[in-house]
């Protein structure tokens, strides 16, 4: 059971929820860039929440199914047709053997996900099937997909009934909520004021390692660099040129730039959907509020994870 890549899209990688337990060796977790949409995909075909899916960026690609399977698209809406007919988003659909799924450019955010019943089958590396592009481990031979790749799927270990969704989440990507970063105090009031008042634009140089911004310059105090320390996902680092970088799923595990803020966990799915040219603002929330929002988001999947574990 497999599908064949006829056209690979802009950057298509196999992902799960990430590789945990090895950042002390410098190995980043990686994992789906919008884990909320990724998990929805698994939910909608009745998979376990960590089964491997295909993440597509900006342009999806064309895939030939060598076997019939229940499949679903989640995340941002891209143009999508199955043998020329519109293919729905957020609705599980039986794709038949010999059909071609063509996923074109995004009509909305940066990423969408293709999930099939049973998940994609690639070797586990350090407990995860996520691709980490820089290290070239995980996923399909440690890289993004190319024309001609044949990806196995369908070794379903679960027998969960697919869920139907009544409500589709479309979070507001023009606002990223943040908590204070570890070096927040090194930035004076004027700079903080600019940081929270002005709009930032997503740079072309953004990728899964980090979301780079253009716009107002944020200059730290006397020193530009700090002693290298662990870098949380979502950290808003301010390098010497004053253009903040948000550390993301493939992030370096440690860093030496001061961190003015940290995107809250509940808003990381928005970071995965921001694309070059998009504009957004940062909004400060308290640590308690951030944690409450995170667990509210998690509770959505509670029933699903309980029934699959």
Partner 1 sequence: MILDPTVIPASDRSILVQFGDEISEDLHYQVFLFTQGLLASSHQAISNISPGYSSVLVRLHHKTTLAEGMDTIEEVLKEEHSGDTISQRTVEIPVCYEDEFGPDLGRVLKHTGYDKEELIERHTSGMYLVYFLGFSAGFPYIGGMDESLATPRLETPKKTVPAGSVGIAGHQTGMYPLSTPGGWNLIGRTPLTLFNRSNPKDTALHMGDRLRFRTVNRAEFESLGQSQ
Smallest distance, partner 1 to C-beta of residue 86, A: 35
Q: Which of 43, 82, 125, 245 binds partner 1 (CB under 8 A)?
A: 125
Pair 179, 4: CB distance under 8 Å: no
Quickly tell me which residue has 């890549």 as its tokens. 5
List the structure tokens of 74.
């989640």
Is 21 a binding residue for partner 1 by CB under 8 A? The answer is yes
Is 135 a binding residue for partner 1 by CB under 8 A? The answer is yes
Q: Which is nearer to partner 1, 100 or 224 (CB)?
A: 224
Is 298 a binding residue for partner 1 by CB under 8 A? The answer is yes
CA distance 202 to 271: 10
- β-strand partners of 245: 212, 237
Q: Which of 162, 232, 242, 276 binds partner 1 (CB under 8 A)?
A: 232
Would you put residue 251 in left (φ > 0), alpha (ψ -120 to 50) or beta?
beta
Residues 6+ apart with CB under 8 A from 229: 182, 254, 255, 256
Of residues 46 through 105, those in contact with partner 1 by CB under 8 A are: none
Q: Which is nearer to partner 1, 148 or 288 (CB)?
A: 288
Q: Which is nearer to partner 1, 28 or 45 (CB)?
A: 28
Query: How many C-beta atoms surround the C-beta of residue 57 within 10 A?
Result: 23
Of residues 176 through 195, those in contact with partner 1 by CB under 8 A are: 179, 181-182
By CB under 8 A, name the binding residues for partner 1.
20-29, 125-126, 134-137, 142, 179, 181-182, 227-235, 252-255, 259, 262, 264-265, 287, 290-291, 294-295, 298
């Amino acid at each position: 059971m497999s599908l064949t890549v006829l056209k690979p899209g802009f950057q298509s990688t196999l992902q799960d929820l990430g590789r945990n337990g090895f950042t002390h060796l410098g190995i980043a977790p990686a994992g789906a860039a919008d884990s909320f949409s990724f998990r929805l995909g698994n939910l909608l075909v009745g998979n376990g929440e960590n089964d491997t899916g295909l993440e597509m960026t900006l342009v999806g690609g064309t895939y030939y199914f060598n076997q019939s399977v229940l499949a679903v698209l989640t995340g941002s809406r891209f143009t999508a047709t199955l043998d020329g007919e519109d293919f729905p988003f957020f609705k599980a659909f039986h794709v038949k053997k010999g059909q071609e799924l063509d996923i074109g450019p995004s009509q909305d955010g940066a990423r969408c996900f293709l999930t099939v019943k049973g998940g994609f089958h690639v070797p586990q590396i350090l407990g995860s099937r996520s691709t980490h592009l820089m290290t070239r481990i995980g996923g399909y031979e440690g890289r993004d997909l190319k024309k001609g790749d044949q990806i196995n799927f369908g070794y379903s270990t679960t027998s969960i009934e697919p869920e139907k969704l009544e409500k589709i989440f479309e979070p507001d990507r023009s606002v990223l909520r943040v908590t204070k970063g570890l070096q927040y105090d090194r930035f004076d009031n004027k700079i903080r004021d600019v940081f929270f008042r002005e709009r930032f634009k997503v740079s072309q140089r953004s990728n899964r390692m980090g979301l780079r911004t253009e716009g107002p310059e944020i200059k730290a105090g006397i020193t530009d660099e700090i002693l290298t320390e662990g870098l949380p996902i979502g950290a808003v680092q301010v390098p010497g040129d004053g253009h903040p970088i948000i550390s993301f799923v493939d992030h370096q595990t440690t860093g030496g730039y001061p961190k003015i803020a940290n995107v809250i966990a509940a808003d990381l799915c928005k970071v995965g959907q921001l694309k070059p040219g998009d504009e957004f603002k940062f909004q400060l929330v308290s640590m308690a509020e951030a944690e409450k929002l995170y667990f509210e988001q998690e509770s959505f999947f509670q029933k699903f994870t309980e029934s699959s574990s």
